[in-house]
Structure formats: C-alpha cells, structure tokens
Amino acid sequence: MNNGAVKVNDAGSTDATQLTEQVLAFIRTLLEGRNITPNAVQEQMLTSHVRAMAHRSLTGEPLPEVEESLFEEISADSLEMAKAVVEQFGNLPVEEAWLLSVHFEVAKDNL
C-alpha cells in the first residue's frame, strides 16, 4: 500500500484532522472519477463519518456490531469505493466499508 495510503503505524504522529483531510481528498478523487457529487448536507455527513473513522483508526476504538444484511441493497460500485477508502487507513474492519458505502449510494441519487 505505497499508493499514498496512511497506515496507523505511519500515522502515529499524524493527528485525526490530517488523516481525515488525506482520506477526504482520496474520496473526492474517487467520486469525481464517477461523476458523483454529494450535496452540502451529504458532504457534511461524509466528513463527519470520515473524521470518526480516522479517530477509530488512531485510537483502536471498535465499531458497535453491524449487521451485514442491512447493506444488501448497496451497489457493488459503492461498496468497492468504500473498501478502497477503508484500505487507506490500513487497520479498520470491513464493517467500516459497509457503513461508508451508504454515503456513496445516497450521493449517486444526485445525478
């Protein structure tokens, strides 16, 4: 993962704000490549979620239990994007991708 990914080992001195901004830049590139433009509220919710992901990545705080079946209607493309984002952190579970994929799926409806 030398494609600009931030691993928690590398992020030992990186604060959550810097990690959040790096991942949001990665997300913007993914979304632009697919012509997906979140509206202002969606952008705010996405930023808040990524900030929480950065916090969990740096602190090791676990997510509450998440049921995979709740995400069955999420498209493969949204899930693929979310997994790519989660890989940027290097230490978060797949459940993070399930939750994040909802943001991408909802933003697709803006087209």
Torsion of CA 26, 9, 95, 107, to 10 degrees: -10
Q: State pLDDT tens for residues 47-82.
A: 999 999 999 999 999 999 999 999 999 999 999 999
34 — pLDDT class (breaks 50, 70, 90): very high
Q: Are 23 and 6 in contact (CB under 8 A)?
A: yes
Q: What is the largest CA-CA distance in the chain?
A: 39
CA distance 31 to 107: 9
Compute φ and ψ for 103, nearest 5 degrees: -60, -45
